[in-house]
């Protein structure tokens, strides 16, 4: 099993993620929650996933409810509804990931059978069976999870035994910082910075740290982890350093994350007095009420053989009575929560099932990998705020009665009329990656745009990549290289043939406004952002703000995720963000003064481009422009990169290895030795102030060792890449490479005087000039090269860095770690190097599935045309700690202008057609504003362009007023709109005023 498929996931789970490949998991129950759990574990790469039909086949809670037993979950297409659900699910799950063995178990879950698993997840079993299996798993040391979803609520329970070890409790790499100074004292004060010297250290009080590479106060390098106390963003307080040697320079301070041990009670004990994860007393009361309600639901089903009828008050009251009895030890209950839960508990909603299933899968991964803090021990979720929406609150049992439809589970909650509205929706999904796939899958199960007039438009400019397959549910190995949007659209049509979905392979932006313009956005019911850059998300936000289109913005990073709802005109518009820094650092830092692995990785990226991309592009460009006639060669300027490419042109594999060995010597020995020759370790910028101090770590040259894996990895990768650029065959045998190295003798290094010259920002390297007489010879050699190509102009193949290419990554990792060794910087492993150098956002299926599910819950509210902002939720999710924060979006801000209160969504609109049927002139628009609002406009602007300025002279004002609003505006197939700003007489130029939207003919 190659790591390439799971690279983004390994960035989340760390090395523990590889334990998935050795694990067997049992998933009981194959309705919504079980299907989502099983799919996530299969995509994540568990070695073996065994499916078991649980309560539905054995008299569980779902068996006699009003939801149709034939209603398909997303692992079943419409055509397979009448087929064996377990076998159909097995086939489709196996197709998700050929690395995973997927099987079905149809017998009893005996002690002997359960002992073969590391994790058991139950999703639809009677409580009696949950208790029996839970006791077995606890006794056998098998991690046990219960996950259920009923209507608008879900529960999750974890029992990982009495001595469960969490190997790595936190997300991301351990924190580290560069030491600037350490004082002698009690306590000692450490001054330090992050990778960017303008950033602080990011440590917190109580964090354990170790030191390395400290010069002078060397006692710290061998000391045990010590706790820190934060003084400010750049200073930490540590223990007693008064007896240590004086600090001289250098050093790193690194976070240590100790293992943690957790103890869990079996379900039989945890049921009565539950440990519930909650953030506040209010949330705890709500969760305890749901805990009692779920227990009561089991009793209700045992008594009556079915779930409560939808919207039946008498059934809901009986559940409440049972909950009062069962929850008496928990204290008072929120009876409204219990009633609301019971009234729709027969319902089955894809978003709720997906959310709970995603959480269950993440807890299973915690059990397997020892990564992140597991749930302790109960978690409850509900979206009962949906029932407060106008229209949803007054539904009757008749409205929610089953129709024999695949959507009966949804009708049980929201009624049949609502289902018709869902089918008529027009939605825009921007992005068909991980979140986009989950959104489309949920939409298909919900029946969004599956009726007359409905339509989902999905666009994504990318094609399916191998690294997408571990989390992008709708893609298979055979889809690699195909357009994402088209593949995703075809996949959801198989899930629900009624869904109407249109796919585009286009990037949303100014260049596609003719396809996705104002008219397109104005016809939408809503848009959903599943984009992976803040720049693209900000553009989509601006389109939706301009057209007053509701927008659900989604995003993930590792186990963190969020959903933001923008509901015009109720909520505050989303605030466009900007992409974080692109990883760039000052040139002097990269060339001479690296102090963190981020610096050496960026340097390695620049090396890659400078060695294997830019020279080849320069040669090809020069040959294209080279005149055919030698008489025209005189005076040609040969770029340095072209000259070097010709001089270093290899003839075979041995030349490539020798070039790589020479370049190793140049970069990791000679250039460092030259730098130290010009600026010795003892050099002082002024008396008593050493040059090599603070951010400037004094480097040391390396000596090539053919037995050193990193040294050899660099030579091999560089030689292979050079061979590719010159279109030469490579040799994959290490013995042949080592043989060339053994016979390679390089001249001894002789330093040059004043080769590096101190400059304002650090150092400057002095390039050697080429003798003028050599230029003609070079041009002649290049002409000969061109002739060898048969007159062609592409002599070399430029290589663009691909963060998922193994060879590229091998070079970057080795080049960076050798540079780090030069400067005493701790190296980075291959996975960390890939993430930092490729600027990769860690990703995992569980987070994307959970975030998409939360977004779909907001879709229900938008379909209801809910006008109560209190019903909407923004969500922030932290799966590493099983934490969810849901809060009401902020209301739209208002302001006063000319004696009236205006919403931020308000604007003045005019159909800007003049008396002659053409676009209004500026004069006509000014007159319209005077007549309509009584405002005398003194300045009129379109962006930064002044259309009218009342302070100009009479002649200029007359010319401005005679201009048409259409002047300088490009035509398009749809009505053109201008958004103008203005200043009225008596206003200050900074006064807020509603924008003026002019629709041109």
In SS3 terms, 164-211 reads as EEECECCCCCCCEEEEEEECCCCCCEEEEECCCCCCCCCCCCCCEEEE
Contact residues for 189 (Cβ-Cβ < 8 A; gap 6+): 182, 183, 231, 235, 236, 237, 238
- Distance, in Å, from the CA atom of 400 to the CA atom of 398, rounded to the nearest integer, reads 5
Nearest to 577 by CA among 564, 590, 592: 564
Other beta carbons within 10 Å of 69: 13
415: its two tokens: 């009624």
Distance of CA 94 to the CA centre of its chain: 26
Q: Which 3 state secondary structure label does DSSP give 730?
A: coil
Please report where in the chains the tokens 């006639």 appear, as a residue: 629
The angle at the Cα of 109, spanning 107 to 111, to the nearest 5 degrees, equals 130
Residue 305 and residue 299 in contact, taking contact as beta carbons nearer than 8 Å: no
Helices 597-612 and 709-725 meet at what angle, rounded to 10? 30
Give the containing element (helix H, strand E) for 911: strand 908-911
Contact residues for 954 (Cβ-Cβ < 8 A; gap 6+): none
Neighbour-count burial for 515-534, b at 16+ CB within 10 Å, e otherwise = ebbbebbeebbbbbbbbbee
Other beta carbons within 10 Å of 397: 15
Give the containing element (helix H, strand E) for 835: helix 830-838
Q: Which 3 state secondary structure label does DSSP give 838?
A: helix
Residue 288 and residue 278 in contact, taking contact as beta carbons nearer than 8 Å: no
| DSSP classification of residue 451 | S
Sign of CA dihedral 802, 805, 811, 813: positive
> Judging by DSSP bridges, how do beta strands 945-949 and 937-942 pair with one another?
antiparallel
Q: Biggest alpha carbon distance in the chain?
A: 103
Residue 13 and residue 371 in contact, taking contact as beta carbons nearer than 8 Å: yes
Please report where in the chains the tokens 């190295």 appear, as a residue: 741
Q: Which 3 state secondary structure label does DSSP give 748?
A: coil
**588 in active site:** yes
Q: What are the C-alpha distances in Å from 158 to residues 134, 510, 847?
A: 10, 49, 18
Nearest to 1001 by CA among 880, 926, 918, 940: 918
Contact residues for 435 (Cβ-Cβ < 8 A; gap 6+): 530, 554, 555, 556, 848, 851, 852, 855
- Distance, in Å, from the CA atom of 495 to the CA atom of 475, rounded to the nearest integer, reads 13
Alpha helices for 527-670 (secondary structure H): 534-547, 587-591, 597-612, 614-625, 640-647, 653-665
- Distance, in Å, from the CA atom of 187 to the CA atom of 203, rounded to the nearest integer, reads 17
Cα-Cα-Cα-Cα torsion 654, 659, 665, 668, nearest 10 degrees, comes to -120
The catalytic position among 588, 698, 866, 993 is 588
Nearest to 434 by CA among 500, 506, 531: 531
First vs last Cα of the chain: how many Å apart? 60
Main-chain dihedrals φ then ψ at residue 878, nearest 5 degrees: -135, 90
Residue 820 and residue 600 in contact, taking contact as beta carbons nearer than 8 Å: yes
53: its two tokens: 């039909």
Count of residues making up the chain: 1001
Indicate which residues carry an active-site annotation: 588
């Amino acid at each position: 099993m190659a790591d390439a498929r799971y690279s983004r996931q390994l960035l989340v789970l760390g090395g523990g993620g590889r334990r998935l490949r050795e694990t067997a998991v049992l998933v009981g129950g194959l309705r919504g929650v079980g299907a989502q759990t099983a799919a996530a574990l299969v995509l994540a790469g568990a070695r073996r996933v065994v499916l078991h039909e649980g309560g539905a086949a054995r008299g569980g809670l779902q068996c006699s409810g009003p939801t149709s037993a034939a209603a398909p979950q997303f692992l079943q297409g419409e055509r397979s509804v009448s087929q064996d659900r377990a076998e159909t699910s097995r086939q489709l799950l196996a197709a998700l990931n050929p690395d995973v063995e997927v099987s079905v178990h149809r017998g009893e879950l005996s002690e002997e059978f359960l002992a073969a698993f590391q994790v058991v997840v139950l999703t639809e079993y009677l409580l009696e069976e949950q208790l029996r299996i839970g006791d077995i798993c606890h006794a056998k040391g098998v991690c046990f999870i219960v996950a259920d979803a009923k209507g608008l609520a879900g529960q999750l329970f974890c029992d990982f035994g009495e001595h469960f070890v969490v190997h790595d409790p936190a997300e991301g790499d351990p924190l580290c910082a560069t030491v600037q100074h350490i004082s002698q004292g009690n306590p000692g004060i450490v001054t330090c910075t992050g990778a960017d010297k303008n950033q602080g250290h990011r440590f917190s009080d109580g964090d354990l740290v170790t030191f390395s590479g400290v010069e002078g106060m060397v006692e710290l390098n061998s000391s045990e982890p010590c706790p820190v106390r934060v003084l400010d963003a750049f200073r930490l307080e540590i223990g007693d350093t008064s007896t240590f040697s004086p600090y001289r320079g250098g050093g790193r301070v690194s976070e240590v994350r100790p293992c943690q041990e957790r103890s869990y009670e079996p379900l039989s004990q945890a049921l009565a007095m539950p440990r519930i994860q909650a953030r506040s007393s209010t949330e705890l009361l709500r969760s305890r009420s749901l805990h009692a309600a779920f227990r009561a639901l089991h009793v209700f089903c045992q008594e009556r053989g079915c779930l409560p009828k939808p919207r039946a008050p008498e059934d809901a009251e009986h559940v409440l009575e049972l909950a009062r009895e069962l929850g008496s030890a928990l204290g008072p209950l929120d009876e409204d929560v219990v009633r609301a839960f019971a009234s729709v508990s027969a319902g089955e909603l894809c978003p709720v099932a997906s959310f709970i299933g995603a959480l269950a899968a993440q807890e299973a991964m915690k059990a397997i990998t020892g990564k992140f803090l597991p749930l302790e021990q109960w978690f409850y979720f509900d979206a009962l705020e949906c029932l407060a929406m106008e229209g949803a609150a007054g539904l009757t049992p008749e409205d929610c009665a089953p129709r024999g439809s695949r959507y009966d589970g949804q009708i049980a909650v929201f009624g049949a009329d609502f289902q018709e509205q869902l089918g008529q929706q027009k939605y825009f999904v921007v992005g068909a990656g991980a979140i986009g796939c989950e959104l489309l899958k949920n939409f298909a199960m919900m029946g969004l745009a599956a009726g007359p007039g409905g339509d989902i438009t999905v666009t994504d400019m990318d094609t399916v990549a191998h690294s997408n397959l571990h989390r992008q549910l709708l893609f298979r190995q055979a889809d690699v290289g195909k357009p994402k949007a088209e593949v995703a659209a075809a996949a959801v049509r198989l899930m629900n043939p009624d869904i109407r979905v249109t796919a585009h392979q286009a990037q949303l932006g100014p260049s596609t406004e003719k396809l996705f313009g104002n008219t397109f956005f104005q016809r939408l019911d809503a848009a959903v952002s599943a984009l992976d850059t803040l720049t693209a998300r900000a553009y989509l936000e601006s389109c939706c703000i301009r057209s007053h289109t509701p927008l659900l913005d989604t995003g993930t990073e590792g186990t963190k995720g969020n959903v933001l709802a923008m509901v015009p005109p109720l909520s505050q518009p989303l605030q466009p963000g900007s992409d974080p820094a692109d990883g760039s650092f000052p040139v002097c830092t990269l060339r001479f003064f690296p102090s963190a692995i981020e610096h050496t990785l960026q340097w390695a990226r620049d090396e890659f481009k400078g060695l294997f991309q830019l020279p080849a592009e320069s040669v090809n460009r020069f040959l294209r422009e080279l005149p055919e006639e030698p008489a025209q060669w005189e005076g040609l300027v040969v770029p340095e990169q072209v000259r070097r490419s010709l001089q270093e042109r290899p003839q075979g594999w041995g030349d490539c290895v020798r070039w790589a060995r020479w370049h190793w010597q140049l970069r990791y020995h000679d250039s460092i030795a030259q730098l130290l020759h010009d600026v010795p370790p003892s050099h002082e910028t002024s008396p008593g102030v050493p040059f090599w101090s603070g951010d400037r770590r004094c480097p040391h040259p390396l000596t090539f060792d053919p037995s050193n894996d990193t040294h050899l990895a660099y030579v091999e990768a560089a030689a292979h890449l050079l061979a590719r650029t010159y279109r030469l065959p490579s040799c994959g045998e290490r013995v042949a490479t080592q043989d060339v190295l053994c016979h390679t003798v390089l001249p001894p290094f002789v330093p040059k005087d004043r080769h590096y010259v101190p400059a304002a920002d650090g150092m400057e390297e002095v390039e050697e000039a080429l003798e003028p007489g050599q230029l003609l010879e070079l041009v002649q050699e290049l002409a000969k090269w061109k002739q060898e190509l048969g007159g062609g102009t592409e002599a070399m193949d430029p290589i663009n860095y691909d963060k998922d290419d193994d060879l590229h990554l091998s070079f970057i990792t080795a080049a960076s770690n050798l540079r780090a060794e030069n400067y005493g910087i701790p190296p980075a492993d291959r996975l960390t190097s890939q993430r930092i150098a490729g600027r990769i956002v860690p990703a995992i299926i569980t987070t994307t599935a959970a975030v998409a599910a939360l977004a779909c819950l907001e879709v229900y509210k938008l379909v209801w045309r809910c006008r109560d902002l209190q019903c909407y939720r923004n969500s922030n999710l932290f799966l590493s700690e099983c934490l969810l924060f849901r809060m009401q979006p902020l209301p739209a801000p208002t302001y006063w202008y000319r004696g009236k209160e205006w919403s931020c969504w308000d604007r003045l609109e005019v159909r800007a057609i003049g008396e002659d049927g053409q676009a209004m002139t500026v004069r006509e628009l000014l007159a319209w504003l005077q007549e309509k609002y009584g405002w005398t406009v003194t300045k009129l602007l379109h962006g930064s362009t002044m259309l009218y300025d009342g302070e100009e002279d009479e002649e200029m004002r007359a010319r401005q007023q005679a201009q048409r609003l259409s002047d300088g505006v490009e035509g398009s197939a749809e009505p053109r709109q201008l958004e103008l700003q203005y200043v009225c007489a008596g206003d200050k130029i900074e006064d807020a005023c509603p924008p003026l939207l002019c629709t041109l003919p």
